[in-house]
Amino acid sequence: MKKIAVFMFIDAMGWEIVKNRDFLKDLLPHRYRVGMQFGYSCTAIPTILSGEKPTVHKHLSFYYYAPDKSPFKMFKYMGLGILPSSIADRWRVRHTLSKFVAKYYGFTGYFEMYAMPFNRISYFDYIEKTDLFVPGGLSPVKNLADTLEEKRIPYHISNWRLPEFQNIEALIQDVKKGEINFAFLYTAAMDGLLHRVTKDGPEITTKMNWYEDHIRRLFKELEANYDDIHLAVFSDHGMTTLTEVVDVKTPIEKLGYKFGKDYVAVYDSTMVRLWFLNDTAKKSIHEALLKVPYSHVLNDEELKRYNINFPDNMYGETILLMDPGFQIAPSDMGLKALPGMHGFAPEHEDSFAALLSSEEVNIDLKCVDDYFRLMTQKMDSL
């Protein structure tokens, strides 16, 4: 009997988006609400691909304080920090520079500098330097590809650099050959669309219909080439609609402390992560953080519960998290807020991920790291 297990990842297709839709209900009748890993896709994907938490695989956000080993030190010497922001902030300029840096250092992972100011970037290192999807990509932690190789299961894992249509086609071609027994199909366009039009945009229904048509096409090929098929479609998180924009940078900078001498901060879209270089700055910045509306500083219990209690404070000594819907702008991720954003508290209804399966799942899908256990369970039944 020819068996195959196919896991299709749709970035940001949260539980709130699928729960009231008939999306593939006949093929995927078993539907589960799954807890999000605190963070962004850059936290969730390594979590899904390893079954480990951020404190183990070390991925939480892109930038972390590491002035000694920063690959961006060259920017200091290139004088990019003094470029007028009208040029330095252009997406195309940053994208081209990102490509140049990635090539120079041989980065194979997803690398984008976003809106990180050039006069600050040299304080930071970047976590996603390697391709997380290939063998050794999360080394020393074992990832999905390592596990498949170890178990000697012929597999197909998408190339995340390609547009999703090409990824679907590439899998269909491999299914036609009938040589694989496991597939991980990666699609990410839904995330970008949700950022632009929110979960309530009419474009979401059109996009869901598009996925439905292609998944049916894929399923037909699976049926033509295999006797036993397990198909699951799943996501890493949902999308929360923008309520209000909060400027967190100005009140911190108004205090007059020197960046890199008194403190260091990364402004993500939904959180600020800070490191303090002296106690005076720490005390007064903490006081200022208490006054930032619609936010709170994560306490030890939360850091532990979210599995982001890094012993070396790799991602910040202090993390300020915005309330769901309240985005930080300008941030180091973008100068303007987006209509939709993720990365808020996992407990909020819009944060939950979803897994839709052709058969009943017999493990407890508490959080997205459980997908990995489900995938290995399937591997063992092939």
Instruction: Examine residue 191 and tell whether it contacts Zn ion (CB under 5 A).
Output: yes
CA distance 186 to 102: 22
Nearest CB to Zn ion, comparing residues 53 and 237? 237
Q: Which residue has the closest beta carbon to Zn ion?
A: 191
Q: Cα separations (Å) of 229 from 31, 126, 367?
A: 17, 39, 24
Q: How big is the site for Zn ion, counted in residues (CB under 5 A)? A: 1
Residue 147 vs 235, nearer CB to Zn ion: 235
Nearest approach, Cβ of residue 40 and Zn ion (Å): 7
Q: Distances from the Cα of 123 to the Cαs of 161, 241, 261, 346, 373, in angstroms?
A: 28, 32, 11, 29, 37
Could you report how far apart the first and last alpha carbons of the chain are, in Å?
A: 10
- Closer to Zn ion by Cβ: residue 4 or 354: 354
Separation between Cα atoms, residue 367 and residue 302, nearest integer Å: 15
Based on CB atoms, which residue is closest to Zn ion, 49 or 218? Answer: 49
Q: Does residue 197 sit in helix, strand or coil?
A: helix
Residue closer to Zn ion (CB basis): 80 or 329: 329
C-beta of 191: minimal distance to Zn ion in Å?
4
CA 10 to chain centre: 12
Residues 313-342 that bind Zn ion (CB under 5 A): none
- Choose the binding region for Zn ion from 183-191, 263-271, 303-311, 349-357 (rule: CB under 5 A): 183-191
Distance of closest approach, residue 341 Cβ to Zn ion, in angstroms: 8
Q: How far is the CB of 193 from Zn ion (least distance, A)?
A: 10
In terms of CB distance, is 71 or 343 closer to Zn ion? 343
CA proximity to 194, closest of 9, 10, 7: 10
Q: How far is the CB of 50 from Zn ion (least distance, A)?
A: 20
Tokens coding 27: 């093929």
Q: How far is CA 26 from CA 30, 40, 208, 303, in A?
A: 10, 31, 15, 40
Stretch that binds Zn ion, among 57-65, 175-183, 186-194, 269-277 (CB under 5 A): 186-194
Segment lying near Zn ion (by CB under 5 A), choices 66-74, 189-197, 322-330, 370-378: 189-197
Residue 205 CB, nearest distance to Zn ion (Å)? Answer: 20
Element holding 275 (H helix, E strand): strand 271-276
Site for Zn ion in 130-169 (CB under 5 A): none
C-alpha to C-alpha distance for 177 and 326, rounded to whole angstroms: 48
C-beta of 343: minimal distance to Zn ion in Å? 8
The piece of 17-25, 126-134, 185-193, 315-323 that touches Zn ion (CB under 5 A) is 185-193
Which of 181, 240 has the CB closer to Zn ion?
240
Residue nearer to Zn ion on the CB measure, 110 or 219: 110
Q: Are 118 and 26 in contact (CB under 8 A)?
A: no
Any idea what the Cα angle at residue 322 is, between residues 317 and 328, rounded to 5°? Answer: 95
Per CB under 5 A, residues contacting Zn ion are 191
